[in-house]
Amino acid sequence: MDEFKVTPWDVEGVVDYAKLIEEFGTSPLTDELIEKTAELTKSELPIYFRRRFFFSHRDYDKVLADYESGKGFFLYTGRGPSGPMHIGHIIPFFATKWLQEKFGVNLYIQITDDEKFLFKEKLTFDDTKKWAYDNILDIIAVGFDPDKTFIFQDSEFTKIYEMAIPIAKKINYSMARAVFGFTEQSKIGMIFYPAIQAAPTFFERKRCLIPAAIDQDPYWRLQRDFAESLGYYKTAAIHSKFVPGLMGLEGKMSASKPETAIYLTDDPEEAGKKIWKYALTGGRATAKEQREKGGEPEKCVVFKWLEIFFEEDDKKLMERYQACKNGELLCGQCKRYLIEKVQNFLKEHQRKRKEAEKKVEKFKYTGEL
């Protein structure tokens, strides 16, 4: 099947990422840019870049040039707090942490409790604020530098309103409707919201780089339409692919289908059972057939999760691929391997999450650097 759909609200089908680059008008993250990143940071690249989990960009070449010339840049990303975070949500934060650490730049993290309240019919304002605190713990647990990382929650960080006003004057209704799909029934708060979301791209008079999944790109196209008229840079972005849910490579891991996701607060034992029961593999109908024909790692979620995040070692990943193809490996063995990796990750994350409770204040952005 090559039919797929990617919008900020919905991802369906098996995404053809090369086609998506054409459709969205972004640029591929080339070997040259990846090598330049390694050269400038004097570092070995993490798997997100080595294995092209990040695959597309806007103006990343300019970000690297600004860094090289000494102008610098800053990072901005965010989280809409409408529920618990899962593994698919947190992986881009690990990539962001790597960028922050290696380039030594400031990072702003916007927690859009206002957005979630306005856009999710059933969510109360109290609920979204509760999730904001909960999600902030997961984000801090990633290990960001507290001196260079500034987390703010829109409903608390009221200074953002002042910054959003000149932006709101630059966006007309049809521009916003084209991106957000507003209708007659849309609430007026929703229509103003794009100005709030664009404001952090102007926090510093440097180029802003947004690392995010590619479905978020349409939001930033809007910013790029008016940024220069306000005397700022068009924001740059690097785009990741999607982390698939346990039950198939179509779409992305979704909080609305809990059995397909591993939440960061899942009990490690339960998470293991979920993977064992639901993870789709590229295995054959019987062990005998698998030994004869080999498995299909290209169709396998277990392999995909190892490739995206859980198998750091390139050599081991390739050996697993070959062993699967040659019929030397059975899916049960592979699932057990992944389960152990996921459980270790969850235990460590949950330990750090607990420690994060004492660090929340340190990360709070007040508008002062």
Residue with Cβ nearer ligand SF4 (211 or 282): 282
Candidate segments 14-22, 33-41, 130-138, 297-305, binder of ligand SF4 by CB under 6 A: 297-305
Q: How far is the CB of 262 from ligand SF4 (least distance, A)?
A: 16
Question: How many degrees, rounded to 5, is the angle at CA 117 between CA 232 and CA 258?
Answer: 110
Q: Is 300 in the site for ligand SF4 (CB under 6 A)?
A: yes
Question: Least CB distance from residue 281 to ligand SF4, whole Å?
Answer: 4
58-66, 176-184, 212-220, 280-288 -> range binding ligand SF4 (CB under 6 A): 280-288
For ligand SF4, the binding residue among 73, 103, 303, 310 (CB under 6 A) is 303
Is the Cβ–Cβ distance between 276 and 339 less than 8 Å? yes
Pick from 83, 194, 272, 282: which binds ligand SF4 (CB under 6 A)?
282
Cβ proximity to ligand SF4, 304 vs 353, nearer residue:
304
The yes or no reply on residue 342 touching ligand SF4 (CB under 6 A) is no
Q: Which of 281, 317, 353, 356 binds ligand SF4 (CB under 6 A)?
A: 281
Cβ distance to ligand SF4 smaller for residue 249 or 331: 331
Q: How far is the CB of 276 from ligand SF4 (least distance, A)?
A: 11
Nearer to ligand SF4, 212 or 302 (CB): 302
Cβ at position 352, least distance to ligand SF4 in Å: 29
Min. distance of Cβ 301 from ligand SF4 in angstroms?
A: 8
Q: Is 283 in the site for ligand SF4 (CB under 6 A)?
A: yes
Which residues pair with residue 6 across a beta bridge? Answer: 11
Phi, psi for residue 210 in degrees, rounded to 5: -110, 110
# of chain residues touching ligand SF4 (CB under 6 A)? 13
Q: Which of 262, 324, 342, 346 forms a contact with ligand SF4 (CB under 6 A)?
A: 324
Q: Is residue 297 within the footprint of ligand SF4 (CB under 6 A)?
A: yes
Q: Tell which one of 20, 47, 271, 331 touches ligand SF4 (CB under 6 A).
A: 331
Question: Binding residues for ligand SF4, per CB under 6 A?
Answer: 281-283, 295-297, 300, 302-303, 324, 329, 331, 334
